[in-house]
Amino acid sequence: MRLADEAPAEASPCRADAVRNRLRLLEAAARLVAEHGPEHVTMEAVAAAAGVGKGTVFRRFGDRAGLMLALLDHAERAYQQSFLAGPPPLGPGAPPVQRLEAFGTATLRHLVVHAGLLLAAEHDPDRRFAAPRRVRLVHVSALLREAGAGGDQELLAEALLAFLDTALVDHLRRRGGMTFERLDAGWRDLVARVVRAA
């Protein structure tokens, strides 16, 4: 997974080498998480993979939790950008039902790729329903409204988002043996039924 080159949002501008180090560290951490899972990634391993000293990792992210949250934050921003301002059918410009279908596909892909990080972050009950989920809820509610769905769009959106729950998707894939394609088809069927029924 290649992370986009972007400077962190900080009060003072970073030196160019600090920005490069941060990107190198995030890319190394992302590779290690993809290969071994977040529970097996240490600060030492990230430093070695990035070719920097361990102190650099601690200075940039504070601790292992800070590094994992930075990885998750970066992935979440890119994912949100894709459905809020990306090209259609996921982004603006496509009919609302097509956008809902594409949203489910993109979300399932996001959950599969980042399952370890997302599940680790969800151990905190407050984080489970935090800002990123709120963005999804507002987005799905707006698309339902635009599609002409009647009823309580917020509750309908909550019902749709329950299908895209990180723990559920992980359970269905790993323990239920369901393929991505089956989950994606199920999402599209659910969207069609909700919009038709409403």
- Give the burial class of 97: count Cβ atoms within 10 A of its Cβ; 0-12 exposed, 13-18 middle, 19 or more buried: buried
Residue 11 has pLDDT above 50, yes or no: no
Give mean pLDDT, residues 102-120.
90
DSSP 31: H
Q: What is the pLDDT of residue 9?
A: 46
Q: What is the pLDDT of residue 123?
A: 60
CA-only gyration radius of the chain, Å: 19
According to CATH, where is 1.10.357 located in the chain?
A: 66-197
Residue 7 has pLDDT above 50, yes or no: no
Q: What is the pLDDT of residue 182?
A: 98
Give the pLDDT band of residue 16 (cuts 50, 70, 90).
Answer: confident
pTM for the whole thing? 0.76
Give mean pLDDT, residues 68-91.
91
CATH architecture of 66-197: Orthogonal Bundle (1.10)
Residue 8 has pLDDT above 60, yes or no: no
What is 16-62's CATH number?
A: 1.10.10.60
Give mean pLDDT, residues 87-107.
97
According to CATH, where is 1.10.10.60 located in the chain?
A: 16-62
Q: What is the pLDDT of residue 1?
A: 40
Give the pLDDT band of residue 191 (cuts 50, 70, 90).
Answer: very high
The Cα–Cα gap between 40 and 115 comes to: 14
